[in-house]
Amino acid sequence: MRGAIEFKDVSKAYDGTLALSHFSHAFAPARVHALMGRNGSGKSTAIKILAGAVQPSSGTMSVNGREVSFATPSEAFAAGIVTVHQELSLVPSLSVGENIFLGRLPRRGRFVDWAELHKRAAALLTEMELEIEPRRLVETLSLGQQQMVEIVKAMSFAPSVLILDEPTSALAAREVGHLFELVRRLKARGVTVIYITHRMNELFELADTCTVVRDGHYVGTIEISDASPAKIVEMMFGDVAKASRPARRAVNRAAPVLSVRHLSRAPAFTDISFELYPGEVLGMAGLLGAGRTEVLRAIFGADPLDSGEISFAGQRVDKPTPKRMKALGLGYTPENRKEVGLVQMAAIHDNLILASLDRVARAGFTNRARETPSVTRQIRELGIKVADPLLPVSTLSGGNQQKVVIGNWLNTAPKVMFFDEPSRGVDLQAKQQIFEIMWAEAAAGLSSIFVSSELEELLDVADRILVLHHGRLVAEVTPQTTNLTELYQLCMEGHP
């Protein structure tokens, strides 16, 4: 059976701890199987075993009716199994075409056949309905465009089994639609798709089945036609309830802590003006490419402004720089935590203290003993699950890595925090924990701007929501007077 996958009593132990325990399940061929579970549930371990990245401690696995044991990812590739990981594996300094066929460049004699390379890449991009030039450098693409190139690269292997790990986390609505159409075409050709996502709405639009893993154990599989969001959440978390927003005092709007006037930076955004008040959670909505991240980066000083004024705590800031804005009391948790927010090879301890070293150091010198109180406080107060703070931060789940990013900046005692997609790629439980952190900090007086592509989150979390469309501020709404449909319409069309 082409594309059939079967796990039989598969377990994986790390230092005596079972990450996956006696997992048995068959994924039927030519169907889209959602694989769900909170971070640390074991789903990633199962996928790594299938992809040849790790080997099981016990049990067997079959693909296409044949028992297999992959020692390396290349062996899984040879068996027709291709994985698109959430964290991109592209080489930024190479072109789109070179990345798609990396390691497999077509040749004419001893030389690369560039014409053939660009022709093949263009054909794949056209099939995806993507208007991306094959000769364009990947580093010039948006994060969403890079994700699509990663998927096109997977397509070039003509897989019989395609594993998609959070493939839509950085995609705009139009790009998500293209991806879903592609997945449906692959399914029609007999490809078996295993689809990992934390976005519940995607299951009911794309998947045929939903398989849930919890605490390393197989919980069950349900046909999507028989499923409901409540049922799947119950399978994933048991009796874990959704966090409810605590009662809040009215935001004091006497004087803003941050004021921006007529900010412009072509072509990303034009004439942006707003205020942020003490203890307020200000949401920022918009589709990918609307200019949300670019506005935050410009205020933080990471990108230059063409024009406009910024005032922070009543002080005008000309030509902001990250160093100056941090000194004034601005913290920024970026959307791409892997490459921008964290040093993956460094210890959890080090990542929690990076932004506040100047506060901790004495005469330019520091040591772990001096740093430890700040590190320990954030681990405790943010509920970061850490076996040993000196382990690399890369050993943590996505949700715990995100908490480390937040804790790093909270250690600077900020007056204002920018949260750019803080729930991207984390499970439902971790999302709620992050929201609780934001509410608690707001109650303590911290002002924040919260960017999210999940509009439901903005309605749940924010006090007020700004809507950006094609780089312009088109609306300001409140969750009490706006529903999800209206907010989506504003983001998509720029008007009610």
Q: Where are the domains of the chain?
A: 5-237, 258-493
258-493 homologous superfamily: P-loop containing nucleotide triphosphate hydrolases (3.40.50.300)
Tokens of 221: 């599989």
**Angle 319-325-326 from CA coordinates, rounded to 5°:** 155
Nearby residues of 31 by Cβ (< 8 Å), 6 or more positions away: 187, 192, 193, 208, 209
pLDDT of residue 1: 40
CA 234 to chain centre: 23
DSSP 153-168: HHHTT--SEEEEESTT
pLDDT of residue 189: 84
Contact assessment for residue 149 and residue 90, using Cβ atoms and an 8 Å cutoff: yes
Positions in the chain short of pLDDT 50:
1-3, 240-241
Tokens of 138: 């990947």
Contact assessment for residue 454 and residue 474, using Cβ atoms and an 8 Å cutoff: no
Nearby residues of 118 by Cβ (< 8 Å), 6 or more positions away: 97, 134, 135
Contact assessment for residue 55 and residue 69, using Cβ atoms and an 8 Å cutoff: yes
pLDDT of residue 488: 77
Is the alpha carbon torsion for 358, 362, 365, 366 positive or negative? negative
For residues 404 and 383, give the distance between their C-alpha atoms in angstroms, rounded to a whole number: 10
5-237 homologous superfamily: P-loop containing nucleotide triphosphate hydrolases (3.40.50.300)
Tell me the pairing of strands 330-333 and 5-14: unpaired
For residues 122 and 101, give the distance between their C-alpha atoms in angstroms, rounded to a whole number: 12
For residues 115 and 94, give the distance between their C-alpha atoms in angstroms, rounded to a whole number: 16
Nearest to 396 by CA among 451, 343, 454, 353: 343
For residues 368 and 349, give the distance between their C-alpha atoms in angstroms, rounded to a whole number: 8
Of the chain, the end-to-end C-alpha distance in Å amounts to: 50
For residues 457 and 200, give the distance between their C-alpha atoms in angstroms, rounded to a whole number: 13
Radius of gyration of the chain (CA): 23
Facing residues of 84 across strands?
164
3-state secondary structure of 270: strand
- Domain 5-237 and domain 258-493, same fold? Reply is yes
Tell me the pairing of strands 192-196 and 161-165: parallel
Facing residues of 221 across strands?
211
Contact assessment for residue 418 and residue 409, using Cβ atoms and an 8 Å cutoff: no
Contact assessment for residue 95 and residue 133, using Cβ atoms and an 8 Å cutoff: no
Tokens of 89: 């594996």
Contact assessment for residue 88 and residue 170, using Cβ atoms and an 8 Å cutoff: no
Nearest to 198 by CA among 235, 227, 169: 169
pLDDT of residue 241: 47
